[in-house]
Copies of this chain bind each other. A is one copy, B any other.
Amino acid sequence: MISIDIYSRIPIYQQVIDGIKSEVMLGWLKEGEQITSIRELSVEVGINPNTVSKAYLELERQGILAVATGKGYFVAPDAARRIRDSVIAEEKVRFLSAAEKLLQSGICREELEDWIRKIHCISP
């Protein structure tokens, strides 16, 4: 179940994209599996079907979803790997940019490494 915050500055269609990607990454959606239809999802989360459609089209463009005309949307083969690769590429940029600004602001490397060690996270 995707959760939407209509008051967030992140566009709703982007929240849908992020939600589906998460579900694939967590293994809740398997490659090849059919996903909830546009109409169903729009009712489920209480948003406009056009907004869901926009998200699905973007996911298709990214090769994460595949559309079978008249049948609906399916998780593309290789979807998990594609998502993982793009997440790593994007987050590495953010990580390095933030690290650089923190170093420039007087935070030392040791403190950054300390912060990393304290992150509690379960790798999937």
Contacts and interface: CB of A to CB of B under 8 A. Distances in A.
Interface in A6-25: 6-7, 9, 11-12, 25
Contacts of A119: 96, 99-100, 103
A99 B105 contact: no
A100 B74 CA distance: 28
Interface string A48-92: 000000000000000000111111001000000000100110011
6 contacts: A92-B102, A95-B99, A95-B102, A96-B115, A100-B121, A103-B119
Contact count band on A = 35 or more
Contact of A112 (B68, B95, B104): B95
Contacts of A121: 100, 103-104
Dominant secondary structure of chain A at its interface with chain B = helix
A6 B72 CA distance: 10
Contacts of A106: 84, 123-124
B116 A101 contact: no
A2 interface: no
Given A94-B94, A116-B112, A7 B67 contact: yes
